């Protein structure tokens, strides 16, 4: 039974510019039919007046339920949370309950009543925590990954266009967006321009941007000249095509500037007093796990938010969406179940990067995480790499949960020693 069963409940269906609210009486009957509120000062004040009026007439405090709808619910939630008890529902919960009637009806009024009934009659999980600074940090991290993906897209586009105009250019520079490569492409508009360019001026340009000396610059020049000769012979000749190259470079440079701005703002926020000392400590605890970088630790912790909302490691596993889906009916039990992928996508991406790093070795040949690398080699024989990486991600979730709950930095231990310590601890409890 829901703890709000004997309370009046307000259900709010959120939209971009307006919302619809409905109020249920303590006995479950409709106290106030669904009504529309605009997302402005007058609309918010009107909603508060209606809720306070209901509380006065019923002589009971209300509970407000709304679903998480992107960013549209944030302003209303922030406006109400200091005055009322406000609960945020996962849209997956509300979607499972919106079409329970035989007659298929979908409108804002019915959805508002459905949300109110879910809050009143069902013992569902909800969230009431909202920290503006953690939300800001999470948004900055998500924008960083979004812009990084966009940059990768335009780098691929640049590579594709160069294969048409300058077919062998990629043999000169392994990274076509390095500083030297970009400087050459911006200065010389075609392979013909490179062939006609002053040798010393071009070598000087390469030397200035690469900072690797004259000998290296001359080698690059010779490769570039040979590639330009081939491009003149086999490449498509059109000055207009090179406009695409310049436009793509401009976009890549703009994205790089935005990425630098985001990283700078993330670090400024992390070193400010706006982030709590507890949250900063939790980031350092995650950072203590081998294979976790600083930005990755910030991303994972900002996606988790408050670890106190997770009771068991499997709850955190489900939140990251790496729990297995289940497909079973009667005697049929599918053995081809995949990850649910219902949790935080950015958090799962960061965790995947840590899993990849955990099974690698550093430049000196030492494993990043010896325990996870051995586990990967010993237990993943005959299985695909993706299955092995998901298993590593599960272990990393357990590590993250452990360091955050125990408030202790990660300790690299052999599994046998760890098992022995656990058994000793259990025997001491029994004694």
Listed in sequence order, the residues at least 6 apart from 91 whose beta carbon sits closer than 8 Å to its beta carbon are 67, 68, 69
Please give the residue that has the higher pLDDT: either 424 or 391.
391
> Any idea what the CATH number is for the domain that residue 21 is in?
3.30.420.40
* pLDDT for the residue numbered 9: 94
Q: What's the rounded mean pLDDT across residues 26-49?
A: 94
Percent of the chain whose pLDDT exceeds 90: 57
Q: Does residue 18 sit in the same domain as residue 32?
A: yes
Q: Does residue 239 sit in the same domain as residue 311?
A: no
Q: Does residue 280 sit in the same domain as residue 398?
A: yes
Count of domains for the chain: 3
Tell me the C-alpha distance between 362 and 370, whole Å: 11
Q: Does residue 164 sit in the same domain as residue 257?
A: yes
Give a yes or no: residue 418 inside a domain: yes
Q: Does residue 125 sit in the same domain as residue 139?
A: no
pLDDT tens digits, one per residue of 172-206: 988 899 999 999 999 987 889 899 999 999 999 99
Q: Does residue 280 sit in the same domain as residue 168?
A: no
pLDDT tens digits, one per residue of 72-129: 999 999 999 989 999 999 887 777 766 666 666 678 898 999 999 999 998 888 888 8
Give a yes or no: residue 355 inside a domain: yes
Residue 312 phi, psi dihedral angles, 5° rounding: -125, 160
Listed in sequence order, the residues at least 6 apart from 13 whose beta carbon sits closer than 8 Å to its beta carbon are 19, 20, 21, 66, 67, 108, 109, 111, 112, 115
Confidence (pTM): 0.85
| End residue of a domain, out of 130, 158, 185 | 130
Residue with tokens 């300790």: 411
Give a yes or no: residue 4 inside a domain: no
pLDDT tens digits, one per residue of 345-397: 999 999 999 999 999 998 888 999 998 998 888 877 777 888 889 999 999 99
Q: Does residue 418 sit in the same domain as residue 288?
A: yes
In terms of DSSP H, where are the helices of 288-359?
294-304, 313-319, 345-358
Q: Does residue 124 sit in the same domain as residue 206?
A: no
pLDDT tens digits, one per residue of 118-155: 999 988 888 888 888 999 999 999 999 999 999 999 99
Domain range for residue 43?
A: 9-130
């Amino acid at each position: 039974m829901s703890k709000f069963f004997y309370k009046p409940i307000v259900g709010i269906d959120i939209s971009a510019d307006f919302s619809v609210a409905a109020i249920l009486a303590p006995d479950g009957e409709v106290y106030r039919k669904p009504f529309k509120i605009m997302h402005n000062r007058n609309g918010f004040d009107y909603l508060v007046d209606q809720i306070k009026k209901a509380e006065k007439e019923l002589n009971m405090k209300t509970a407000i339920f709304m679903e998480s709808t992107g960013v549209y619910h944030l302003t209303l939630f922030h406006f109400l949370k200091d005055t009322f008890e406000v609960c945020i529902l996962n849209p997956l919960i509300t979607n499972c309950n919106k079409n329970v009637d035989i007659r298929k009806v979908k409108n804002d009024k019915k959805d508002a009543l459905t949300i109110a009934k879910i809050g009143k009659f069902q013992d569902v999980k909800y969230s009431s925590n909202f920290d503006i600074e953690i939300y800001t940090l999470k948004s900055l991290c998500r924008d960083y990954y979004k812009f990084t993906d966009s940059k990768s897209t335009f780098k691929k586009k640049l590579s594709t266009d160069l294969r048409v105009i300058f077919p062998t250019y990629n043999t000169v520079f392994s990274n076509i967006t390095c500083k030297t490569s970009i400087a050459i492409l911006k200065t010389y508009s075609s392979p013909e321009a490179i062939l006609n360019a002053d040798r010393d001026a071009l070598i000087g340009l390469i030397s200035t941007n690469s900072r690797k000396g004259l000998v290296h610059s001359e080698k690059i020049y010779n490769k570039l000249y040979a590639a330009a000769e081939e491009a003149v012979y086999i490449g498509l000749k059109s000055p207009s095509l090179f406009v695409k190259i310049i436009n793509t470079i401009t976009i890549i440079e703009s994205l790089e500037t935005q990425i630098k701005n985001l990283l700078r703002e993330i670090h400024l926020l992390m070193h400010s007093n706006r982030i709590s000392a507890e949250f900063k400590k939790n980031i350092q605890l995650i950072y203590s796990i081998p294979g976790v970088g600083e930005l990755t630790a910030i991303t994972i912790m900002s996606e988790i938010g408050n670890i106190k909302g997770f009771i068991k490691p499997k709850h955190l596993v489900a939140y990251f969406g790496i729990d297995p889906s289940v497909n079973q009916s009667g005697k049929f039990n599918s053995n081809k179940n995949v990850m649910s992928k219902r949790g935080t996508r950015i958090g799962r991406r960061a965790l995947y990067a840590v899993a990849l790093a955990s099974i690698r070795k550093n430049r000196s040949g030492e494993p990043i995480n010896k325990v996870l690398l051995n586990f990967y080699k010993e237990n993943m024989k005959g299985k695909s790499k993706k299955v092995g990486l998901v298993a590593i991600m599960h272990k990393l979730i357990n590590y993250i949960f452990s360091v955050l709950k125990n408030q202790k930095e990660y300790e690299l231990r052999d599994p046998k020693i760890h098992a022995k310590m656990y058994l000793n601890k259990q025997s001491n409890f029994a004694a």
